[in-house]
Amino acid sequence: MTSNPTKGPLVDAEPARRHVRNLMAAGVSIVRLADHSGVPFAVISGLLYTRGPGRPRAQKIRLCNATGILNVSANEVATCYVDPTGTHRRLQALMAIGWPQLRLGPHIGRHPVYVNALLNQPNIYGTTAMAVATAYDRLWNQDPRQHGVKTGTWKKVVGVARTHGWAPPGAWDDDTIDDPTAQPEWTGECGTDRGYWMHRRQNLPMCARCETAHADWLAERRHLPASERWRQLALAKGAASNRGASLAHDARELLRYGVRIEQAAERLGVTRQHLQQELTRHPADEQVAA
């Protein structure tokens, strides 16, 4: 008697979802993955995308489908060149949090010197993109100093990244990092005047969208008397100052009631990475100003 593929135990969908994203970063389409894994296209698509109002991405998946997806290796199906955008951004993001190139090489199975070349290569093999994506998944929330990187080296690498304006992991989410048209979300409010002030307050490299938004904000108030302009400027700056602390406070309340961090981020309208950044910037004992 043959088994019914629609039956069987359910497991957490996150490992399979992460593997699908890494394969896609290596240039594997959902159609090709479905062909090689034997998992229906609709099941794989349901891991990545919402299915309409009230139908979020799948949180559970049949064990047989998860196994089929996880058994697909990039070495088998990703042998062509792929868009280098995601690979460049992942390497830049890891350097933005202090990972030196010499340490990243072993994590992606390449000679350390090769990492510098990768940052500028217009063509990247899918297998290389997969290796970088896998390393990124391991390292994006790790402090390099806790893995043997000296503080002086860490500062130097972070400084290089700031000079180049490279966005850290918190500025990207899994759905945008490979999209050449996407822009980094440094503050959770980028493209607004509030985002401009959050850049300033948190000493983040200024992004073009926030710089433009602030210039527009000033232009709209050019006709106001100087005293009123300065008053509104102070109010705007003050409102932005509390945003990160409020976000961290609200997230901790949700987490305290058993809400997972991915769900908390979705409810608060920010990415998981950005929320984790704010939780780090604003410790639990920090008070939110009234």
pLDDT, tens digit, for every residue of 94-153?
999 999 998 998 888 877 778 888 898 888 887 788 889 889 989 998 899 998 999 999
Supply the pTM of this predicted model: 0.61
Do 200 and 269 share a domain, yes or no?
A: no
Query: Do the domain assignments include residue 256?
Result: yes
Please state, as a whole number, how many other Cβ atoms lie within 10 Å of the Cβ of residue 57: 14
Last residue of a domain, one of 77, 108, 136: 77
Do 16 and 62 share a domain, yes or no?
A: yes
Residue 62, strand partner residues? 10
Last residue of a domain, one of 24, 48, 77: 77
Tens digit of each residue's pLDDT (9 = 90 or more) over 185-216: 888 788 888 888 888 877 888 888 999 999 99
Query: Do the domain assignments include residue 129?
Result: yes
Number of domains in the chain: 4
CB-count exposure of residue 53 (10 Å: 0-12, 13-18, 19+)? exposed
Do 101 and 154 share a domain, yes or no?
A: yes
Do 218 and 258 share a domain, yes or no?
A: no
Last residue of a domain, one of 52, 77, 102: 77
145 token code pair: 């100093």
Query: Is the Cβ–Cβ distance between 283 and 249 less than 8 Å?
Result: no
Query: Do the domain assignments include residue 4?
Result: no
Query: Is the Cβ–Cβ distance between 93 and 142 less than 8 Å?
Result: no
Do 154 and 88 share a domain, yes or no?
A: yes
Query: Do the domain assignments include residue 175?
Result: no
Query: Is the Cβ–Cβ distance between 3 and 48 less than 8 Å?
Result: no
Query: Do the domain assignments include residue 173?
Result: no
Query: Do the domain assignments include residue 269?
Result: yes
Query: Is the Cβ–Cβ distance between 195 and 210 less than 8 Å?
Result: yes
Do 153 and 86 share a domain, yes or no?
A: yes
Q: Can you tell me the mean pLDDT for 224-239?
A: 86
Do 213 and 287 share a domain, yes or no?
A: no
- Domain range for 60 is 10-77
